C-alpha cells in the first residue's frame, strides 16, 4: 500500500475554478481512471460534490467534518454501487476495495484505515486534502495542463514537489505530459 498524490495542474499551478476543474481532457480522465481503478481514493467534500457519482470500482473515501455528507453518499451509493459503509472497516472485516463510499471525519481516521487496504491510497484532491496529506504522500503523479486558466481560484502549493524527483514521464493524447515523482 502506497499513498500517492495524483493531480492535474495548469501552467500557473491552478487546479480548480468555481468548485470544478476548469478544463476537460478525456485522455487525462482515462489516465486517471486507469491509474486509480481498484484502489482507494481519498478526497475532500468539495471535490466529492463536484463528482456526478462515486468513482466506479474504487473505494471513495470522503473527508468531511459535517455529518450531512453521509446522506448524499448513501443516496449516490445506493444508486450507483452495490456496497457501502459509513464507518472505517474493522481489521476482521476488510474494506470492499472494488467500490463503495465512506465518509470520514478526519485525517487520523484515513490513516487508521490505510493499513487494512490491500491497494494503494490515491490522494485525489482538492487543495485542502493535498495539503493535509503532504507529509504522507510518497509519490506524485502530475499531469501538466498546457493552459493558463484565467480566474482560477484553487492552486497547488508552489513547492509541493520539493523533495521529490521525477522517475518517468509519458505523453497522453493531446500532448499531455504526465510525470511520476518519488521522494528524493
Residues that bind ligand NAP (CB under 6 A): 7-8, 15-16, 19-21, 43-47, 50, 63-66, 69, 105-107, 124-129, 132, 154
Which residue, 94, 132, 100, is CA-closest to 113? 94
Q: For ligand NAP, which is the closer residue by CB, 119 or 152?
A: 152
Angle 60-58-74 from CA coordinates, rounded to 5°? 45
Q: Tell me: cis bond preceding 126? Omega within 30 of 0 counts.
A: yes
Provide the 10 A C-beta neighbour count for residue 22: 18
Q: For ligand NAP, which is the closer residue by CB, 92 or 175?
A: 175
Q: For ligand NAP, which is the closer residue by CB, 100 or 125?
A: 125
Shortest distance, position 82 Cβ to ligand NAP, whole Å? 25
Give dist(CA 154, CA 17) in Å, integer. 6
Provide the 10 A C-beta neighbour count for residue 62: 23
Is the Cβ–Cβ distance between 113 and 88 less than 8 Å?
Answer: yes
Give dist(CA 26, CA 32) in Å, integer. 10
Q: For ligand NAP, which is the closer residue by CB, 65 or 92?
A: 65
Shortest distance, position 19 Cβ to ligand NAP, whole Å? 5
Residue 80 grid cell: 450507483
Shortest distance, position 20 Cβ to ligand NAP, whole Å? 5
Q: For ligand NAP, which is the closer residue by CB, 24 or 92?
A: 24
Shortest distance, position 92 Cβ to ligand NAP, whole Å? 26
Shortest distance, position 30 Cβ to ligand NAP, whole Å? 14
Amino acid at each position: 500500500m502506497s499513498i500517492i498524490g495524483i493531480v492535474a495542474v495548469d501552467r500557473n499551478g491552478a487546479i480548480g475554478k468555481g468548485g470544478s476543474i476548469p478544463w476537460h481532457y478525456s485522455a487525462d480522465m482515462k489516465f486517471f481512471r486507469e491509474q486509480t481503478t481498484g484502489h482507494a481514493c481519498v478526497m475532500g467534500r468539495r471535490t466529492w460534490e463536484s463528482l456526478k457519482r462515486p468513482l466506479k470500482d474504487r473505494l471513495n473515501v470522503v473527508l468531511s467534518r459535517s455529518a450531512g455528507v453521509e446522506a448524499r453518499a448513501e443516496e449516490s451509493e445506493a444508486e450507483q454501487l452495490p456496497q457501502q459503509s459509513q464507518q472505517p472497516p474493522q481489521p476482521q472485516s476488510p474494506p470492499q476495495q472494488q467500490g463503495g463510499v465512506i465518509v470520514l471525519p478526519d485525517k487520523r481516521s484515513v490513516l487508521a484505515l490505510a493499513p487494512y487496504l490491500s491497494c494503494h491510497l490515491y490522494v485525489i484532491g482538492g487543495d485542502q486534502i493535498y495539503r493535509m496529506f503532504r507529509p504522507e504522500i510518497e509519490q506524485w503523479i502530475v499531469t501538466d495542463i498546457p493552459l493558463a486558466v484565467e480566474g482560477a481560484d484553487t492552486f497547488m502549493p508552489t513547492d509541493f514537489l520539493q523533495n521529490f524527483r521525477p522517475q518517468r514521464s509519458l505523453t497522453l493524447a493531446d500532448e499531455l505530459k504526465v510525470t511520476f515523482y518519488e521522494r528524493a
